[in-house]
Structure 1
Amino acid sequence: MIELRHLRYFIAVAEERHVTRAALRLGIQQPPLSQQIRALEAAVGVTLLVRMPRGVELTEAGRAFLAEARAVLVQLDHAVDTAQRTARGEQGQLAVGFTGSAAFHPLIPAVVRAFREQSPHVDLLLEESRTGDLIVALQKEQLDLAFIRVPVGDTTGLVIEPLLNEPMLLALPAGHPLLAGGKRKRIALADLAEETFILYRRPTGPGLYDAIITACRAAGFSPHIGQEAPRMVSTLSFVAAGLGVSVVPESMRRLDTEGVAYLSLADMPGPVAPLLLAWRAASVSGAMQNLIAHVREMAGTRR
């Protein structure tokens, strides 16, 4: 059986053209080195070196074997370097998911930008989906990490780490009577008891849906729900169309949707939209550790 040491010994002898000098270079005795070269030739089945009075010369087969032996060691060094870089999180691939509402929070693009600058050789695959689908994708190892609002479904084996609680605000059609005068900046939920609400569909975002319903009931009324939108962006489109008002995470204001105005909620405490990071507890690569560290630092939740 040919071992890596055989290749290293052979390369040293071939480069030195002398067994004794090669032995000194390798830090071993000359007789064992000669034995290893003979064992290599026996394993290959051909003569690689011709013994001369003042050294050795490569045969034609030996010259061909030398080139391939060097290539094998270069490839081995590359494999070792690749494994070490991957373990340190300096290269590889990460699949990261996020919900539609979480995508607009400034933390996520900031984290992605900082991570790409620090780890340019790690490929980031980004996917937007519903919270339930993201949880399933994590369980099936189709995603490595996911930014979610409130966990739903089976979260067995997942780490779900709170990052922050984002305030929510009122989105209403431009020209709505509550905006009369243009000076109003805040409003109490109780003042919306007669309004028609547009909410993000509960199966899609149960956490946000339930937070809004709970806050309205705490304010003394059950909201009249006129529409349930399949996506958070659709919610704002329905508001712009004048179909009702909605309560959305503060970061949705960044969309600057035409025909939609925003008011802060005066209720204390008001409804919040939590932002969480989820990943499989049993599968944390070097690149994942680095990304998680970025998220924690930028969210101010260092562990």
Structure 2
Amino acid sequence: MAEIELRHLKYLLAIAETGGFTRAAERLGIQQPPLTRQIRDLEARVGAQLVERLSRGARLTEAGEAVAATARAMLDQAADLPAIAARAAAGQSGRLRVGYTSSAAFHPFLLGAIRVFRGAAPGVRLSLEEESSAELVRDLLADRLDAAVLRAPAAETELEVDFLLEEPMAAALPAGHRLAGQAQAGVALADLAGETFVLYRRPAGAGLYDAVIAACHAAGFSPAVGQEAPRMPSTLSLVAAGLGVSVVPASMRRMAVEGVVLAPLIGPHRPAAPLLLATRHDRSAVAARFRADLRRAAAAWEG
């Protein structure tokens, strides 16, 4: 079937609303003969008579009424196109796929920033994925994610990484541990020398793993890693089971795992856990807005 243009639909609706070719032509600002030709062209394209001429004026046939009903909806949608384009260009609509590490999921900054973004851009279809750092980088590069919150910088040149903020880390101790009673006052990293450590598996979280190892070396000892966990929440579960101590981001206290005491780290050689945002250089408009919003929220963060 030949292509139907929006002007054909406007002409048909003008006849329907004015009841005749003459008045429709006046409304449209054209002569009657060109209008007649355009309606005949439309009828040829749809393969049916759409307008019935009367002794006075004209009216739509049953087929014409059916086409007119759809035409109204199509023209209304076409009228919305500039606003739709403006919202998309401003990052207020579209799709946003955000990934984050399991340790970042418990930080109140991230939860609050996503909540504010959803409120400011309700037209965005937001999906969230929890993965390891290596998986997040892989999915960003493969265009399966638009943005990712990491704990360690990504070396890939296709990605741009923004520093958001840094949080302290805490010692995670089994409830019956010899240092658990001084948790409120805090624990020095050197106090954990000789302990068996449970750490977040390095391939999954190289940033935190390396930061803890480096801090222990600076404190004068090499930690004995007895167990590695696939996810940060699993680290606390293993600590609760008595398999060792750990050092985790302080925001993990929100998990409130039974049998685990989190003590602030005090004194020198305290590792810190950064929050970083990675996006591709060719990021979409909505990803660019998300990045700008998180950078702005991080600059104002006082948590």
TM-score (norm 1): 0.86
Q: Is 1:176 aligned with 2:197?
A: no
| Equivalent residue number for residue 209 of structure 1 | 209
In the TM superposition, what is the alpha-carbon distance from 1:294 to its structure 2 partner?
A: 3.1
Indicate conservation of the 8 Å contact 2:174/2:180, yes or no.
no
Asked whether the 8 Å contact 1:132–1:151 carries over to 2, the reply is no
Do the aligned residues in 1 keep the contact of 2:218 with 2:269 (CA within 8 Å)? no
The answer for the alignment partner of 2:274 in structure 1 is 274
Q: Is the 8 A contact 1:159 1:278 kept in 2?
A: yes
Q: Does 1:229 align with 2:223?
A: no
Range that drifts further, 66-75 or 251-260:
66-75
CA deviation digits over 1:175-231, x for unaligned, max 9?
A: 322345x48613332332222222111111111111111111112221222222222
1:10-56 deviations in Å (ceiling 9; x for gaps): 21122212233222322334443334334334444554334445433
Q: Which residue identity lines up with residue 257 of structure 1 in the other structure? A: V
Per the alignment, residue 133 of structure 2 pairs with: 131
* Aligned CA distance change for structure 1 residues 170 and 63 (closer, same or farther; 3 Å): closer
Per-residue Cα deviation, 1:107-152 (whole angstroms, up to 9, x for no partner): 1211222223333343322211111011111112222211111145
Question: Percent identity at matched positions?
Answer: 54
Contact 2:198 2:229 in 1 (8 A): yes
The alignment yields a C-alpha RMSD, in angstroms, of 2.7
Q: Post-superposition shift, 1:98?
A: 0.9
User: CA–CA distance in 2 between the matches of 1:231 and 1:47?
Assistant: 68
- Aligned mates of 2:268, 2:31 — CA distance in 1: 82
Q: Report the 3-state secondary structure (helix = DSSP H, G, I; strand = E; otherwise coil) of the residue aligned with 2:30.
A: coil
**Which has the higher mean CA deviation after the structures are superposed, 170-179 or 27-36?**
27-36
Distance in 1 (CA, whole Å) between partners of 2:281 and 2:58 is 58
Report if the CA contact (8 A) 1:135-1:151 is conserved. no
Match of 2:25 in 1: 23
- Check 1:301–1:132 CA distance in 2 against 1; reply closer, same or farther (3 A cut): farther
What amino acid does structure 2 have at the position aligned with 1:218? A
CA distance in structure 2 between the aligned counterparts of 1:124 and 1:45, rounded to whole angstroms: 44
1:144-187 Cα deviation digits (max 9, x unpaired)? 211111145x624222111111111212222322345x486133
Structure 2 CA distance for partners of 1:46 and 1:256, relative to 1, 3 Å: closer
Q: In the alignment, is residue 117 of structure 1 matched against residue 150 of structure 2?
A: no
One-letter amino acid of the structure 2 residue matched with residue 22 of structure 1: A
Does the 8 Å CA contact 1:212/1:247 hold for their aligned counterparts? yes
Distance in structure 1 (CA, Å) of the matches to 2:86 and 2:165: 34
Q: How many residues align?
A: 299
* Contact preservation (8 Å) 1:163, 1:301: no
Work out the CA distance in 2 between the residues paired with 1:159 and 1:132.
Answer: 15
- Report the alpha carbon displacement of residue 249 of structure 1 after superposing the two structures with TM: 0.7
Find the counterpart in structure 2 of residue 155 from structure 1.
156
* Distance apart, 1:255 and its partner CA: 1.5
1:63 aligned partner, one-letter code? E
User: C-alpha distance in 1, partners of 2:64/2:235?
Assistant: 74
**Counterpart of 2:263 in structure 1: which amino acid?**
L
Closer, same or farther: CA 87–170 of 1 in aligned 2, 3 Å: same
Q: Structure 1: which 5+ runs fail to align?
A: none
Equivalence for 1:262: 262
